[in-house]
Amino acid sequence: MSSDSKSKSVVPAHVAIIMDGNGRWARQRGLPRIKGHEKGSESVRAIVKACRNAGVKYLTLYAFSVENWIRPKTEINALMRLLDRFLRNEEHELHENRVRLRVIGRREDLPSRLDEKLREVEARTRQYEDGNLILALSYGGRTELVKACRTIAQRVKDGELSPDEIDEDTVSANLYAPDIPDPDLLIRTSGELRVSNFLLWQISYAEFYVTDVLWPDFREPEFKEALADFSKRRRRFGDVK
């Protein structure tokens, strides 16, 4: 894309995605659910690349929710293996494109070997600033807010903070990744009109884009459509303009 045509569209700095529909994609083909997740991993790779091509600086993916632990053990294990494989196969891409990996969520719930590997890749990509891939793992928006409340309450108890000093910045500063700007665009695939406990605090002013396309079929052309739609939105942030 030439810099001229790029300047005409507004590119979101931060895109967050609820990747939904892997199971349905598999069912439609008479395949086991895990095949949908495998194909969904390919979409992850494609969308990380699409972000780089479009100039999106932050991409947050809802890869596993706190609620997902109730799924059958075989599916959970398969998802953890796919994450492991993703790290092994894609780390070089992160280095080549200077993309920093981050994890948000209750990482203490993750298998310790996977968490270790995630920490290693996070450490090895820490210095990069061209792009940021944030994986939400064992993530829940309410859990994140409860954690922030506890930390703030402790600071009040310790006499470091008075209750009337608590403002929105105090809450933001106690989230999993306080330095990451709020998402500008929230995409959900597979047509469901739900937020599903994702980034509850951070999406206050995000533009919402829902597509019927199932996550395994969501690739760069579909992503570009979402960006084009975003570019047409008039964000008012409560103002009248």
Helix H, strand E, coil C: the string for 74-130 is HHHHHHHHHHHHHHHHHHHHHHHCCEEEEEECCHHHCCHHHHHHHHHHHHHHCCCCC
Nearer to ligand FPP, 172 or 220 (CB): 220
Residues 6+ apart with CB under 8 A from 102: 122, 132, 133, 134, 135, 177, 180
Q: Which is nearer to ligand FPP, 9 or 111 (CB)?
A: 111
Residue from 12, 40, 140, 183 touching ligand FPP (CB under 6 A): that is 40
User: Is position 9 an interface residue for ligand FPP (rule: CB under 6 A)?
Assistant: no
Ranges within 180-239 binding ligand FPP (CB under 6 A): 215
**CA separation for the pair 228, 222 (Å, rounded):** 10
Looking at beta carbons only, is 83 or 152 nearer to ligand FPP? 83
Decide if 158 is catalytic: no
82 binds ligand FPP per the rule CB under 6 A: yes
Min dist CB 63 to ligand FPP, Å, is 4
For residue 68, indicate whether it is catalytic. yes
Backbone angles phi, psi at 195, to 5 degrees: -95, -25
3-state class (DSSP) for residue 211:
coil
Distance (Å) of CA 30 to CA 26, 114, 133:
6, 30, 32
Catalytic one of 4, 20, 169, 174: 20
Verify binding: residue 83, ligand FPP, rule CB under 6 A: yes
- Can you tell me the distance from the alpha carbon of 41 to that of 20, in angstroms, rounded to the nearest whole number? 12
Q: Is 81 in the site for ligand FPP (CB under 6 A)?
A: no
Using CB under 6 A as the binding rule, whether residue 68 contacts ligand FPP is answered as yes
Q: Which residues are catalytic?
A: 20, 68
Q: What is the binding site for ligand FPP (CB under 6 A)?
A: 19-24, 37, 40-41, 44, 61, 63, 68, 79, 82-83, 86, 135, 215
